[in-house]
Structures are given as C-alpha cells and as structure tokens.
Homo-oligomer: A and B are copies of this chain.
Amino acid sequence: MVACATCSVRHRSLCGALSPDQLFRLNGIARHRHFVAGDVILREGETPDYFANVVSGAVKLSRTTVEGQHQILGLQFASDFLGRPFRSVFGYDAHAITAVHLCTFPRQPFEGLLREYPSFERRLFEQTLDELDAARDWAAVLTRTAARERLCLFLLSILQRFEASGCGHTITPTGAILELPVSRAEIASYLGLTIETISRQFTQLKVDGIISLPSPRELVVLDLHALKAAAGA
C-alpha cells in the first residue's frame, strides 16, 4: 500500500479536497492496480466494482459503434477520476493506452464514504460539472475548427496535462519536449479526422518550424507561442 502522503496526484485529484480524516479513511480502502498498454480497464455496460484515480499513464474512453468503429470520446491522465458513482453501468470502454497506474476504491465502501462525507460528494459533483463544461466546449471546438487548429489544441491540451502533473515532458526556452501517449489513429479518432490528415498537419507544422518530430512519438515544440497562435486563440 502506497501512502497518500507520497502520492504524486495527492493535491490535484479528488483527494486534494479531503480533510486529513477523510483522506485516512479513503486510504484505508484504496488498492493500487497496474495495467499495461492495451489492457481493458472497464468495458461498456459492465458494472465496475471499483472507482479510481489515474495516478500515471493514459486511459482512453471509447465506444464501439454498431459498424464496429472505435470512437474515442475522451482521454484521461494523471489525477483524473474514473467511474460513475451511483450508476450501475459504465458508459464506455476504458483502455490503457500506455502503462497505467490506478488508485482504486471498491464501490461499496467508496459510496459509503460519499454518503458519510457530503463535502466529499460535493467535490466529486463539482468535478463532474467541470467535466460537463469541458465536454460542451470540446463539442463546440470540434464543430468550429479546422484540422490544423484541432491538432494544435490537442497538443496544447496534452502539454497542459503534463505540466499539471509535472511529468512526461521537458520544458525548453521556447517550448517543450514530450512523448505522445497516443498513436496517430487514436489522435485521429479523438479529433474526428483521419490518420492521413493528422500526418499531413504534423508535417505542415514541421515545415512551419513550430514543431519537430524526431520519431513519431517524440514531439518537440519549438515555438510554443506559434503553436498557441495556430490553435486559434
């Protein structure tokens, strides 16, 4: 058992709002789980027996359409919460796309804690409201923006997540170096574009001197300012 005191997401996740007392109780029910890339964490329609904070790694939330297409609905990184309290079924598939470390909480005692500590439940509620806003914003972005802007927004959001969690990247004077946790196909699915379009936009950004790609998964942001400008805001 890893103690919360040394937890890397201690202050940004759900746990950040807890009193020492509450944290102690939560720690008492926490169990750590590890997954490797490709593992199924939760399946759509299934009743998960636990909730979880993502401690490290990247998780994709996807849905398989009737035509058998994987549509990525969201990406979760360190400090994000996984699961739907008071709902029996989970609405999406959750896959590990990198090595993933979860801090899990069994359903029954976790919901018990929520009932016992209203401020805890409220915190989770507020987090859900924020996610709702983010989801609506994202929908708006997907309808308004061109492929280039979308990709730039995506890269910036990844970078922002990494900065918030203080890992997975290196800051440079004019930008940053980071490892992309997702494949081209996953980026494409998430952004509602095709792999070819993603690839073309990447090379265009290289030509424009905004990024460089030592390897497909290694992204060097040469000019963060230009990247933000290209994201359209």
- Residues of chain A touching chain B, judged by Cβ–Cβ distance below 8 Å, are 61, 63, 65-66, 71, 73-74, 84-87, 91-92, 115, 118, 121-122, 124-126, 128-129, 131-133, 135-140, 142-144, 191-193, 233
Main DSSP-derived SS at the A contact region: helix
| Chain B residues, CB < 8 A from A137 | 73
Q: With a CB–CB cut-off of 8 A, which chain B residues contact A121? A: 118, 121-122, 125
- Between-chain CB contacts (< 8 Å), 12 pairs: A63-B140, A73-B137, A73-B139, A84-B129, A85-B129, A87-B126, A115-B118, A131-B132, A135-B136, A139-B142, A142-B142, A142-B143
**Minimal Cβ-Cβ distance residue in B for A130:** B87
Residue of B whose beta carbon sits closest to that of A91: B133
Is the pair B136, A74 in contact by a Cβ cutoff of 8 Å? Answer: yes
Contacts of A85 in B (CB 8 A): 125, 129
CB distance from A198 to the nearest CB of B (A): 13
Give the interface centre of A122, A131, A133, A139 by most chain B CB atoms within 10 Å: A139
Q: Contact between A139 and B128 (Cβ–Cβ < 8 Å)?
A: no
With both chains docked as a complex, state the minimum distance between the C-beta of A107 and any C-beta of chain B, in angstroms. Answer: 15
| CA of A137 to CA of B122, assembled, Å | 25
- A136/B87 contact (C-beta < 8 A), A128-B125, A142-B142, A233-B66 known: no
Determine the distance from Cα of A73 to Cα of B140 in the docked complex, in whole angstroms. 6
